[in-house]
Amino acid sequence: MKRIFLGLSLLFSVSSCNSQNIGNILKQANDVLSGTPGALTTDEIGKGLKEALTVGIKNSSSKASALDGYLGNQTIKLLFPPEAQNVEQKLRQIGLGAQCDKFITALNRGAEKAAEKAVPIFVDAITKMTIQDALSILKGDKDAATNYLKRTSSVALTNAFAPVMEESINSTGATKLYGEIATTYNKIPFSKKVNPDLKQYATQKAIDGLFLLVAQEEQKIRENPAARVSDLLKKVFANQ
């Protein structure tokens, strides 16, 4: 049992391993994990990793769905679509900056509202995780769990998230505001016309932001013992 704890510690702790080469750390962890009598069971490892992911998902969703969860976080804040950034620039130049700011706020409020619906979708993907998936994550890169969620839940998440995001940006006024902004811009002589449809862009950016927060939570659980909030997590990611 001590040897399996040591292997997990080498892989997920930053306490005394910061200066070691990651390849060497993984080799030591794999040596410990291979066939040790009385070691932590694969079932416990699987349950521990699923719990770790669930903790990260709930933390991420809570952060994203809070007031200013998107708007106040510069790394995930939704801005004008790339093809419409010149629209924003020209509108600000003609004194419509307040309208642009109002749109950006409404867009992010929509993302914050939609983020509340993400947890069950992610949890479903976690529930379907096999023991081989769990072991691959255990011995994988620092974002292996996040990448697993991207592979297994992106399509379902997009399909389920799009109508929620559409309803959210409609209810917060972002769709109407963007339509008005696009219409105003399209009236400018010789301007390149823009499509006022906002749903696809907003949906993808909101999902990208969630995955970024999930990756941050995964890193915390791997590296910080204080982030392991249950007995099972502490056991799986034990430092001794």
Count CA atoms within 13 Å of residue 68 on its CB side.
Answer: 3
Contacts of 197 (CB under 8 A, 6+ apart): none
Name the packing angle between helices 199-223 and 97-115 (round to 10°): 60
Alpha carbon distance 233, 240 (integer Å): 13
Neighbours of 100 (CB within 10 A): 18
Instruction: Enumerate the domain spans of the chain.
Output: 49-221
Using an 8 Å Cβ cutoff, are 169 and 103 in contact?
Answer: no
pLDDT confidence band for 233 (50 / 70 / 90): low
Alpha carbon distance 196, 187 (integer Å): 13
Q: pTM above 0.85?
A: no
Find the mean pLDDT for residues 58-72: 94
In this structure, of 26-30, 161-165, 214-218, 221-225, the range with the lowest mean pLDDT score is: 26-30
